[in-house]
Amino acid sequence: MILVAILFLYFCWPSSEKRLIPISVFALIAGVLFEGKRLVGKWKILIYMVISSFALSFVSFLPGKHEHHYNFDLHIEFWPYSFILIFLLISLCRNEKNIIPRLSEGNTLIQSLAIIYWIIDLGIISLGNGFIWALLAIGSLFSIFSIVNALTDLPLTKNSRFILSLWSSIIMMFFAIDNIIRVYQNDAIET
């Protein structure tokens, strides 16, 4: 494990000619570890999770089924992502109840206002596509439903909770996709 950690540092050190791992991956790992610490609350548990993830992440060094020759550089590039994925899976299994926040009408209202602002900011309204207009109409109905539920004393039934939860999930999916697209459109942090 120590050898891989040394190789990891070597391949992402700024003076290295073979910069296989971008420095931005460190920020990603730091964010995942910070969130992991927030969820578990204890350093000892976090350290056990990190060590377990670190050990299990060596699976990424196994040769692939369709690999004609072993490409060490490719495995080094993939290794931090396998560490992050394994750490997230361990965190999910261990902290299932703490990860999923309680959804309220206020949260859904704020998300609805955020998606409306996002649509206006991106200029999606100006697109003349019929499919986009249909999606906007459906989104408007969901938004109106969430605004009415948040600002009135209507009782929350199972159906209305399901609709609000579905709408919240759709909003977060759009924001996640937009965030992923924008992150990968940027240049590497080193440039």
Q: What is the pLDDT of residues 123-151, one digit of tens each?
A: 877 776 788 888 888 989 999 999 898 88
pLDDT tier at 2, thresholds 50, 70, 90: low
CA distance 123 to 183: 20
This prediction has a pTM of 0.59
Q: What is the mean pLDDT of the chain?
A: 80
Q: Is pLDDT at 28 greater than 60 in this prediction?
A: yes
CA distance 98 to 84: 19
- pLDDT one-digit tens code per residue, 78-114: 888 889 899 989 988 887 777 666 777 888 889 899 9
Asked whether 188 and 22 are in contact (CB, 8 A), the reply is yes
